[in-house]
């Protein structure tokens, strides 16, 4: 009896998550709207003062999915030219950048340090690390073999950016009348 009561509810919850997390809008920086991935990422890494997101989607790029757990939030992008899961964006509290040289911060975000780890050029594979107060975002590029990789990497770099967590906190407060704890908000308290 107990198993029957739980299964329909679990199916409903899983179906609802799948339906809401497959839209390109999930990782757009604005308008914030119902950005479930960004809100869950903020809850998963409450120390992060910035949330990785897309300013827009260049032609041929799209949101491919996400995996959000306590302490880590990831989402994937795919491209009709760079392939499936061409870029993985991961947000954590910290990351190890020892041994990497700091790169110029072309995105212009304040208080963000950038490190690049080139791996291969054909097929293109590289990691870009962005460290900031309370967080680290890693962009993992894994393109299928293509001569267009320099242009595709530039397209993605121009579109990937950050949303201040304080903007997301204010949105959740105004639109949902809820408090998103952590950086830019009251500290998170673990209940009994």
**Sequence-separated (6 or more) residues with CB below 8 Å from residue 121:** 149
Nearest CA to 170 out of 21, 25, 38, 16 is that of: 38
**pTM of the predicted protein model:** 0.82
Average pLDDT over residues 69-85: 95
The pair of three-digit structure tokens given for residue 38, joined into one six-digit string: 């960004």
Output helix, strand, coil percentages for the chain, rounded to the nearest 5: 30, 35, 35
Q: Percentage of residues in the chain with pLDDT exceeding 70?
A: 82
| CA–CA separation, 87 and 4 (whole Å) | 40
- pLDDT digit string, tens, across residues 125-164: 999 999 999 999 999 999 999 888 999 999 999 999 999 9
- pLDDT digit string, tens, across residues 170-187: 888 888 888 887 776 677
Q: Percentage of residues in the chain with pLDDT exceeding 90?
A: 53
Q: What confidence tier does 37 reach under pLDDT thresholds 50, 70, 90?
A: confident
Decide the pairing of beta strands 124-132 and 135-142.
antiparallel
Please give the pLDDT value at position 7: 29
Q: What is the CA radius of gyration of the chain?
A: 18
Decide the pairing of beta strands 102-103 and 124-132.
unpaired
Please give the pLDDT value at position 1: 29
């Amino acid at each position: 009896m107990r198993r029957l009561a739980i299964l329909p509810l679990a199916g409903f919850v899983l179906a609802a998550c799948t339906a809401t997390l497959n839209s390109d809008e999930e990782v757009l920086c604005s308008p914030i709207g119902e950005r479930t991935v960004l809100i869950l990422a903020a809850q998963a890494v409450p120390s992060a003062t910035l949330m990785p997101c897309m300013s827009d989607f260049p032609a041929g790029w799209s949101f491919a999915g996400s995996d959000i757990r306590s302490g880590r939030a990831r989402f994937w992008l795919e491209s009709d030219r760079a392939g499936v899961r061409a870029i993985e964006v991961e947000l954590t509290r910290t990351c190890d950048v020892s041994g990497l040289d700091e790169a110029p911060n072309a995105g212009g975000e304040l208080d963000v340090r950038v490190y690049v780890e080139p791996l291969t050029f054909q097929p293109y594979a590289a990691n870009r690390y962005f460290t900031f107060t309370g967080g680290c975002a890693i962009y993992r590029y894994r393109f299928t073999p293509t001569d267009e990789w320099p242009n595709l990497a530039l397209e993605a770099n121009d579109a990937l950016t950050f949303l201040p967590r304080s903007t997301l906190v204010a949105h959740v407060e105004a639109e949902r009348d809820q408090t998103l704890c952590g950086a830019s908000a009251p500290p998170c308290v673990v209940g009994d």
